[in-house]
């Protein structure tokens, strides 16, 4: 099957992550994720792949054994089954030949993918581009990855003369709500030396640095009183929380930072004068600076507790680590092979730190160092999401080239 048709078929299954079900511990959060996993499994079985496992949580693992005697690394490729909850409508994907200017997504509703907002479209003049009708996500995040991986597996099955080591494909649910599928994955079942997620954007993107991420929950315990006789009695927990926020470093928030600049993100504030809960996210690329940020919050709470008679409860949690801490340095095989594959395919690498997290951050902590390779898509989580066909094909070619290079040693 052609990779484009494969991708279009996947987009027809609406796998919007369900946050309510996820919060209730249900996996997959949307039963259609399991439906998609079953479709992928049937396609792999049709190719003749024997070593396939699929559990009720929609975690799918398939393996192609090595076809030569030379010792070469076992490499895993990962994608997630769900799409983001920003839009829930069914995807109506279509292919347009891009000739420049704006792309009309929906004439009736007057929805356009505007060149003025997406100047990178200039790179795709003359190319086929997959878009939606402007009422949904496209789902290239991450169905382009699924199509690329399955297409690469098909290539190796149908070309047994091409030497390769063991190739592992893994598809997980609910990445879009806290990397839940990756956290549930038993990485020991992979048997991989290292891996690659396909979960970043335009052609050439290669990510092997991401946040060290944590969260902080603070509970401020006040004392309620009727305002008519509140003097000397009322302790307003809302004002305590606001005071805490005011003591955070100025300018160290998402809206003021870029590149590798870390931050505190005041994410949620709820309550009343008697009790208020404040939730913060902590992000930092450097591990030591991350620890210092977490300690800063602990120290601030401890100091204010002296003043406020212990009226603050604080909980600090680590969420995921920077993948680079598992890769160790630039000589890591996963980095070297990917860069060489890009070079061999004349793809200019766009190496940058990821101001976010992805499944690979969790998988790396389970013993399988996993950087992130492009899917080719643009405008993830938006009705303006689009996927140049040339980029989709390139993502699959990178997978093939990495596997072939690894077999050569």
Examine the domain organization and report whether 178 and 237 are in the same domain. no
The one catalytic residue among 33, 43, 82, 209: 82
22 & 170 share domain: yes
Same domain membership, residue 155 and residue 45: yes
Question: In the annotation, is 69 catalytic?
Answer: no
- Pair (221, 205) in one structural domain: no
Domain boundary among 304, 319, 334: 319
Q: Quick one: three-class SS letters along 348-370?
A: CCEECCECCCCHHHHHHHCCCCC
| Residue that terminates a domain, selected from 319, 352, 387 | 319
Q: What is the pLDDT of residue 232?
A: 84
Task: Please tell me the predicted confidence (pLDDT) of residue 226.
Answer: 83
Q: Looking at residue 233, what is its pLDDT? A: 85
Q: Are residues 262 and 373 in the same domain?
A: no
Residues 255 and 170 in one domain: no
Asked whether residue 117 is marked as a ligand-binding residue, the answer is no
194 and 220 inside one domain = no
- Residues 6 or more apart in contact with residue 98 via CB below 8 angstroms: 121, 124, 125, 126, 127, 128, 129, 388
Which of 261, 292, 319 lies at the terminal end of a domain, its last residue? 319
CATH number of residue 178's parent domain:
3.40.630.10
Q: Are both 327 and 278 inside the same structural domain?
A: no
Residue 230 is predicted with a pLDDT of 78
Q: Is 406 helix (H, G, I), strand (E, B) or coil?
A: helix
Which residue of the set 43, 154, 174, 175 is catalytic? 175
**Same-domain status, 327 and 204:** yes
What's the pTM value of the predicted model, to 2 decimals? 0.92
Q: Residue 160 CB: number of other CB atoms within 10 A? A: 9
Looking at residue 396, the DSSP 8-state letter turns out to be H
> What is the structure's pLDDT at 70?
85
Is 311 within 8 Å of 305 (Cβ atoms)?
yes
In a shared domain, residues 226 and 314: yes
Where residue 296 sits, what CATH number does that domain have? 3.30.70.360
Would the annotation count 199 as a binding residue?
yes
Told to judge if 2 belongs to the known catalytic residues of this protein, a careful annotator would answer no
176 carries a ligand binding annotation: yes
Annotated ligand binding at 255? The verdict is no
Domains identified in the chain, total number: 2
Whether residues 66 and 172 fall in one domain: yes
**Which secondary structure element, helix H or strand E, spans residue 23, and what is its range?**
helix 19-23
Residues 90, 190, single domain; the answer is: yes
For 39, the domain range is: 3-209+323-407
pLDDT per residue rounded down to tens, the chain (409 residues): 999 999 999 999 999 999 999 999 999 999 999 999 999 999 999 999 999 999 999 999 999 999 988 899 999 999 999 999 999 999 999 999 999 999 999 999 999 999 999 999 999 999 999 999 999 999 999 999 999 999 999 999 999 999 999 999 999 999 999 899 999 999 999 999 999 999 999 999 999 999 999 999 999 999 988 888 878 888 899 999 999 999 999 999 999 999 999 999 999 999 999 999 999 999 999 999 999 999 999 999 999 999 999 999 999 999 999 999 999 999 999 999 999 999 999 999 999 999 999 999 999 999 999 999 999 999 999 999 999 999 999 999 999 999 999 998 7
């Amino acid at each position: 099957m052609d990779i484009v048709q494969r991708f279009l078929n996947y987009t027809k299954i609406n796998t919007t992550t369900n946050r309510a079900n996820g919060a209730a511990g249900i996996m997959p959060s949307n039963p259609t994720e399991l439906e998609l996993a079953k479709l992928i499994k049937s396609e792999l079985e049709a190719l003749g792949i024997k070593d396939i496992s699929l559990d009720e949580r929609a975690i799918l693992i398939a393996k192609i054994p090595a076809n030569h005697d030379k010792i070469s690394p076992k490499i895993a490729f990962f994608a997630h089954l769900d799409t983001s909850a920003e839009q829930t409508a069914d995807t109506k994907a279509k292919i347009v030949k891009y000739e420049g200017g704006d792309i009309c997504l929906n004439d009736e509703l007057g929805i356009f993918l505007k060149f003025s907002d997406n100047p990178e479209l200039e790179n795709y003049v003359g190319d086929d581009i997959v878009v939606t009708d402007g009422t949904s996500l496209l789902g290239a995040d991450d169905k382009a990855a699924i199509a690329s991986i399955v297409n690469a597996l098909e290539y190796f099955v149908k070309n047994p003369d091409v030497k390769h080591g063991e190739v592992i494909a893994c598809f997980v649910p609910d990445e879009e709500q806290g990397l839940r599928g990756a956290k549930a994955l038993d990485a020991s079942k992979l048997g991989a030396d290292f891996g690659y997620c396909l979960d970043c954007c335009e052609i050439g993107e290669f990510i092997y640095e991401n946040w060290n991420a944590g969260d902080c929950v603070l509970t401020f315990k006040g004392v309620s009183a009727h305002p008519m006789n509140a003097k000397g009695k009322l302790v307003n927990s809302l004002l305590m929380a606001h005071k805490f926020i005011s003591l955070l470093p100025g300018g160290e928030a998402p809206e003021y930072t870029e590149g590798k600049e870390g931050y505190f993100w005041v994410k949620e504030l709820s309550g009343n004068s008697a009790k208020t809960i404040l939730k913060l996210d902590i992000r930092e690329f450097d591990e030591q600076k991350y620890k210092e940020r977490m300690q800063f919050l602990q120290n601030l709470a401890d100091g204010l507790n002296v003043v406020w008679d212990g009226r603050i409860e604080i909980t600090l949690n680590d969420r995921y680590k920077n993948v680079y801490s598992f890769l160790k340095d630039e000589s890591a095989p996963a980095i070297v092979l990917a860069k060489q594959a890009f070079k061999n395919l004349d793809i200019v690498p766009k190496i940058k730190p990821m101001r976010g997290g992805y499944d690979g951050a969790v998988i790396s902590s389970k013993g399988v160092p996993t950087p992130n390779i492009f899917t080719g898509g643009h405008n993830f989580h938006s009705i303006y999401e689009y996927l140049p066909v040339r980029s989709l094909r390139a993502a699959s070619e990178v997978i093939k080239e990495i596997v072939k290079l690894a077999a050569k040693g």
